[in-house]
Amino acid sequence: MRTQLAQVDLNSIRLNIPMPFGLVNSRGVLLAKKGFIFQTRKSLDDLANHGEGFFVNFSDRTDPDLRAAHKAYIKQLMQKLEGGDSAGELTKVQVRYATSRMAEESDQRFIDWFDLIEACNAILRTRDAVFFTQRLESIKVILTHQLNVNPDEALMVLFYLSEKEAQHYCATHSLLVCVICVLAASVLGWSDSDVDLLMNCALTMNIGMAALQDELSQQWVPVDISQQILIAEHSNLAVHILEAFGVTDKDWLDVVRSHHAHIEKPIQSKQRSNRLTGLINRADIFAAKLSYRVSRTAQHASVAMKSTYFDAHSNTDAMGAAILKTVGIYRPGSFVKLASGEVGMVMQRGSNTSSPAVAVVLNRDGMPVHAPAIRNTSDKKYAVISSVGSSAVKVTLSLESILNLGSQ
């Protein structure tokens, strides 16, 4: 995963007080460790000038001070996004230091996921080129920070909402495919420029049928002729819309146009657009198989995983394998049954694919628990024995409760 640095507001750093976390330069090289004390303004300014300013690296998720600072930082980004600020304004947001652990911000979530889904829904439905460009870049900035610090939360929330909710299906699906692709690209060792293009393509591939996708997710009756025509033409329509917005990147347009094409062994292709199309196509199908519709329940995880891992000739698909390595056998946001007889939600991927962190939501009698407990599934007493379809778990969890569980 790419290192994501955020610049620090120098005026917020106080003298003679231990810093709550370390400072790095613009290249990520450590300048001052956590606990370092600046005794004079001159020493602070001299070191800042030497490092072209101070930056913070949010990659250490074990540090509570750093987590609190990141929550405050993401809150600022979300406020800018909600206010309609441009992507350029988002890049000016700086980390502000406090005297201790920024406790005043510690209860704020990294991301208001519903707001981010609403923002994605807005760019998929707008026909305003300026609004589209600014909001797309803003969403990418916020999502990139989240994936660098807590990718499990992104997977957990988006998989859960995809399986349980039908509102804003297109936006939720686009964000989920984007997250899967970015994380899989990290496994594959792809470049930053490829990852940036992947995000553009995944977030806009269905811009030609956003309203219809939302409608179909709520529709009981079969697809009619007019809907079939729009479904068949939505990729070409998406390209026309993007061109009208001023998109000239040939690879971007080619991937959106062909994102439903199944390319055999795309990882070996010399064409960049083929490689990106191959990954997006597989992530798109995988996420769709696990998504909820009014007219059907999500497919069982084993079916979706098998179709992703193997190609049409029953050979291992390299990109499908990267996706499954990314999300794990038991993906965050899904439900599993434990050896104890309890049913829980997967909160985080574990050190190995079969031992995720799980929060119990149903006791061994199948009754909802009052206070979910976190189980160590590497312990044989609580080992995962099977996946459980979300439709079989008769309990509804609020997004807030899910995020609170994840924070444990």
Q: What is the model's pLDDT at position 386?
A: 92
- Residue whose tokens read 């068949």: 232
Cα 90 from Cα 53, distance rounded (Å): 18
- Alpha-carbon distance values, 358 to 165, 231, 292, 382, 391 (Å): 21, 38, 22, 9, 18
pLDDT: is 109 or 159 the higher one?
Answer: 159
Domains observed in the chain: 5-105 (no CATH), 113-327 (1.10.3210.10), 335-407 (no CATH)
When mean pLDDT is compared across 5-19, 210-224, 268-282, 316-330, the lowest value belongs to: 5-19
Is pLDDT larger for residue 108 or for residue 381?
A: 381
User: What is the separation of C-alpha 11 from the centre of its chain, rounded to a whole number of angstroms?
Assistant: 32
What is the secondary structure of 316-385 as a DSSP string?
BPHHHHHHHHHH-SS-TT-EEEETTS-EEEEEE--SSTT--EEEEEE-TTSPBPSS--EEETTSGGG-EE
Q: Give the contacts of 116 (CB within 8 A, at least 6 positions apart).
A: 78, 81, 139, 142, 143, 175
At 248 the pLDDT is 97
pLDDT for the residue 108: 42
What is the rounded distance in angstroms from the CA atom of residue 384 to the CA atom of residue 352? 12
**Coil, strand or helix at 95:** strand
Least confident of 104-113, 137-146, 252-261, 388-397: 104-113
Q: Distance (Å, rounded) from C-alpha 55 to C-alpha 48?
A: 9
Structure tokens at 331: 């993906």
pLDDT at 101: 44
Tell me, what's the pLDDT at 240? Answer: 97
Q: What is the pLDDT of residue 105?
A: 41
CA of residue 39 relative to chain centroid, distance: 41
**Quick one: pLDDT band at residue 100, thresholds 50, 70, 90?**
very low
Percentage above 70 pLDDT, the chain: 88
Nearest one of 349, 323, 352 to 334, comparing CA atoms: 349
Q: Does residue 392 contact residue 139 with C-beta atoms inside 8 Å?
A: no
Residue closest to 357 by CA, chosen among 370, 369, 368, 344: 344
Q: Of 25-39, 126-140, 201-215, which gets the smallest average pLDDT?
A: 25-39
Strand-strand pairing, 5-7 and 55-57: antiparallel
pLDDT number for residue 12: 80
